């Protein structure tokens, strides 16, 4: 028997922060859903809580509760769609593990010190060995070689708002400029695109309503003409 998850796509179960299938999904008061850990990290150290998609602001003391019902739907989706699992073969837009010799698996994290991406299996030393545990890990970074500062051979982690360019931690010539993390810049851009899509959708809805009103008005004018004709 088909379940509701059989008719839904992976995009509908994807966190817009980590771009992976939801883990412990939580929803903001504005109705958007994220992984609990992703949203907690996104808000860490910030003075106010904002939705990463629509930028609505919330109380700093907002408590995030896992939507257990939706989590069951997500778990059911994962069960019936094993290709969504981290051990699946790569999809075109995913980052591959740099260590897997063949049939490369999807990377779960990128090490900004080693400048390499690792699947869950090959990431294990970074979680166990004391020296490697001090390395900074990030969400998988595609095209890593294009995201390394050519001057300092460090990963580009920041975005300069003044010069509209990416920076590494050693690009001190931008120290007096307004800078944000690349992840924050990405989320801002994603939010901007989402708002533009919403505006386009609303405009299309208004245009459709206008055409329907014009069509109805046209029918009423014809009916009124016919009525006068027969009365005469």
Count of alpha carbons within 13 angstroms of residue 15, beta-carbon side: 21
pLDDT for 132 equals: 92
Q: Domain of residue 59: give its range.
A: 1-85
Residue 214 domain-assigned (yes or no): no
Q: What is the pLDDT of residues 90-107, one digit of tens each?
A: 667 788 888 887 777 888
Which CATH number do you get for residue 63? 3.30.40.10
Q: Tell me, yes or no, whether 1 and 76 share the same domain.
A: yes
Q: Tell me, yes or no, whether 81 and 18 share the same domain.
A: yes
The residue whose two tokens read 């690792």 is 118
Q: Tell me, yes or no, whether 126 and 81 share the same domain.
A: no
For the chain, how many structural domains are there in total?
2
Q: Which of 3-17, 71-85, 97-111 has the highest mean pLDDT?
A: 97-111
Q: Of the candidates 112, 129, 146, which is a domain's last residue?
A: 146
Distance CA 112, CA 157 (A): 9
pLDDT for 223 equals: 58
Q: Which residues pair with 109 in a beta bridge?
A: 118
Distance CA 122, CA 99 (A): 7
Residue 6 domain-assigned (yes or no): yes
Q: Rounded to whole angstroms, what are the CA distances from 232 to 48, 152, 215, 225, 229?
A: 72, 90, 26, 11, 5
Whole-structure pTM value: 0.40
Mean pLDDT of 99-127: 86
Q: Which residues pair with 35 in a beta bridge?
A: 25
pLDDT for 76 equals: 85
């Amino acid at each position: 028997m088909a379940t509701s998850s059989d008719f839904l796509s992976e995009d509908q179960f994807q966190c817009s922060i980590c771009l992976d299938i939801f883990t412990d999904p939580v929803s903001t008061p504005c109705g958007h859903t994220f992984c609990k850990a992703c949203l907690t990290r996104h808000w860490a150290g910030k003075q106010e809580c904002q939705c990463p998609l629509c930028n609505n602001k919330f109380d700093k003391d907002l408590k995030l509760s896992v939507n257990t019902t939706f989590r069951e739907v997500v778990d059911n989706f994962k069960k019936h769609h094993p290709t969504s699992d981290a051990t699946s073969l790569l999809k075109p837009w995913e980052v591959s593990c740099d260590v897997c010799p063949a049939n490369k698996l999807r990377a779960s994290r990128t090490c900004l010190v080693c400048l390499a991406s690792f699947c869950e299996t090959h990431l294990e030393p970074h979680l166990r060995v004391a020296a490697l545990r001090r390395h900074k890990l990030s969400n998988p970074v595609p095209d890593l070689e294009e995201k390394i500062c050519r001057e300092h051979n460090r990963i580009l982690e920041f975005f300069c708002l003044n010069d509209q360019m990416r920076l590494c931690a050693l690009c001190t010539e931008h120290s007096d400029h307004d800078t944000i993390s690349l992840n924050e810049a990405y989320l801002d851009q994603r939010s901007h695109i989402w708002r533009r899509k919403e505006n386009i959708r609303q405009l299309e809805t208004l245009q459709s309503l206008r055409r329907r009103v014009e069509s109805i008005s046209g029918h009423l004018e014809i009916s009124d003409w016919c009525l006068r004709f027969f009365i005469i």
